[in-house]
Amino acid sequence: MPELGEIRHSKEIGKKGAYFWKWWECELCGKQEWKRTIVSPKSLRPETKICKPCNIAVQKRRFNYGAIRDFQRQK
C-alpha cells in the first residue's frame, strides 16, 4: 500500500492518460485512494480534497438547505 502523499505516473498505477496521481486521504471520511493532480507532480495538490461519495453528500445537503430556505421565504 502506498504512503500518503506519494506521487506516481498513470502508467505506474495502471491508469490511462499522461497524468500524475497522488495517494491521498479524504478529509471527511478518511478513505484513501489515488487522486489526479492538477498540473504536475510539483503542484502536490489533488483536484478535490474530498472523495466522490462525500462530495455528493455535501452537495445534497447544500441543495436541500437552499430548497428549504427558499420555501420558507415564499410564505
Are 34 and 12 a contacting pair, CB within 8 Å?
no
Rounded to whole angstroms, the Cα distance separating 28 from 38 reads: 21
Mean pLDDT of the chain: 77
Question: pLDDT, tens digit, for every residue of 32-62?
Answer: 999 888 765 556 666 677 888 888 888 877 6
Residue extents of the structural domains in the chain: 7-74
Residues 6 or more apart whose CB falls under 8 angstroms from that of 50 comprise 26, 27, 28, 29, 58
Residue 21's CB is within 10 A of a number of other CB atoms, namely 22
